[in-house]
Structure 1
Amino acid sequence: MNDHFSPANPQTDQQASLPFPALKGEELHAYNELVSTLYRSLHNNAGFQHFFDAFQKHFKALQGGILGVTANPQRIVYGWTFGYPDGFEEWYINSDLPERDEALTRYVQLPPRQFDSFLRGDVSRTILDILGPESRAWAESVGMGDSTGMLVTREDGVNVVFMANRHQDHGPYTDSELLQMNLLAPHIENAVALHLKLYQSSSDNENLAMALNHVHKPLMVFNALGNVAEANNAARALLDSTGNLFVGEDRRLHSRDRRMTRKLHDAITTCIVLSHKGVLESQTLFIQNGQARVSVCLTPLVTEHPENNGVLAELFSFDTTLSPDLDKLQSLFQCSPAEAAVAGGLMRGLSTNDIAEERHISIHTARQHIKSLLAKNGYRKQTELVSMLVRALG
């Protein structure tokens, strides 16, 4: 075994002769509680959240989660998280940081079911001494003191990782804590494997997918692993007609443009993470194909049983040579002619800079119009407004 990933705590001869490391009474009680909470998560409508709460309390963890990570490039495709500030997951998934995240890189290279930490109990150093500039900036901003994690399993080309960061006030993870985590490791593997099987056979999504063909609007359902569970006949016809979007052998939605494929996958992953938090926040992507443009509106699906969570995709096809109905926009969104013109640009997939240039106005004015549209219609984010504009005129 590579020394870099050797166990964090060499055992004594006495410990090596025992089948399991010795735990104190309170540690054994906490361990049993964690195992029970972990397996109860399979039958609880909060998913892994109760286990995360117990793990966070017992090990004084700051944030972390269970993440499905692809290789080459290293991207997050699904996950359950805890402790991160609002909006962090969305920003992180849609950035390049997963490819350069030292923690993810470290943990996917570990042997399965073996926890390791950055500091391994060394109080003379901080994690900031180890991390690169970008990760160090994030760690510094949240006061991170140490990070631990393990490779749970490799499934269909996806590395499933459990990780937990810790605040500097609590010092590095100790040898005793890592021993306890390693006792938990096979149970985490079992629970995650069972959970993934539930996702792959998500009956609620299958029932929903069967109902999609009763709707003439193009619709698709993605399961909680980011795979296409079903696409109705209208969606399949639209995919065939565009020639730019297709369902690959991996059962994921792809574009002929690799950069757009990445944006699609990141947006779907973001919606999956939001579904676990019960956040119904839509996102819209625009795929250009000659004079035709397809808008893909993604909305998290939140069901009674988290294993059936997923994403609903509504597909709209527009002719880019036709101008939006500005009178209808004014009426629906209670806005001025100038604001309606800006709204029309947003629903065509234009950026704020593009709109300013097209309308011969300053970027500041374009932003003010967007802020006014948000305020008048009760939206917090521009992504929500764009989704509603596309739906309203699609």
Structure 2
Amino acid sequence: MARANLDAVVATIDSLLLSAYDAEQMPAAVEQIRQLFGGSKACFARVGPDLGPEDAVTTNFDPVMHQRAYEEFAEEFVSFGQTLNKVPIGQTYADHALIGEERLRASRVWREWMAPQDMYGGLGSRVLEAGPSFWFFDVQRGRNQDAFDAQDAALLERLTPIMTRVAELRRHIGFLTLQRDMARTALDTLSVGIVIADPQMRLVYANETADQFLAEPEGALGLRTGRIFARSAQDQAALKRLVAQTLAPAHDPNARRTHLQAHAAGAEGCNLSLCVLPVPPGYGLPSASPSVMIAIRPLEPAADLVAAAQQLFGLTETEAKFASALASGLSLAEAAEEQHVRISTARTHLARIFQKTGMRQQSQVAALLRGAELPVRSR
């Protein structure tokens, strides 16, 4: 076969390194390696628990064959994987020599999966091991092609350290992506809106609650051409000042004003409480692009805290209703009227609430329940 030239090898290495940071480039990188070795098919895959079709990147992708590998032929692939697991990291192997030609040719994997895809002789390398999983690369030659030789094996061995680094980076980036997705899901469950914006108020991130606040036509805040704005001109000027003040250097950070009330633009909207804070550098944003986080909460009476009061303090349903009414701003007499009981009965309930919560005043009970309310959205 014609030997790979330096330009082709360098281009393959560049493609591999690019794929480490961009998963969408991985199929192109594997295809470039296949071409470098003049193969009929190539594969970069993980072997280990909880395997799925996303764990292997192959050339000449056939979705039906890809799925069959994880369903019909899973048992044989596991057996071959156990054999492959004995190969030292970085060492190349020929599949027929490693598995045994008789054993390989007798398998369903060979007859129904490899041969139909013109996979008649493979050269591979185990590139990384982590916990119960390992990653390998395999390139195949077709029925009418020459077998791989020692020079092919030497080239693959030279490329293996790069593949190892790619696998390490992909694994690490995959973990970071999982963490990011979990964090976004967690933020979306909050009833507090969370927004990250740059100094010009361009939106960088918003959780689901913030999206809802920004989308309300008569709400206090809106989004125009990608920028957050307050619908009241006075609030808009105050918000701009607050953002600039938050990002400006200060000898005493505690002296900064961080809170602002933004007023609704109409009867259907709701006034909002805003808290503006600088985003710490540790969030991974470029230091040249400072950002602020704006926490947003509606200014409205306390929500129904009956269930929380029952679960946290062991109140009965009736006691919890009284406690929730007090937390919403009602007096004891108003709470008694709302619950259709005499004031004397209301005082009895209040005494039990004091006993169970450890409080001595109605205002303390109200503050306790408001503090106990968790900012989590009901689904």
Q: Same fold (TM over 0.5)?
A: no
What TM-score, normalized to structure 1? 0.41
Structure showing greater Rg: 2
What TM-score, normalized to structure 2? 0.43
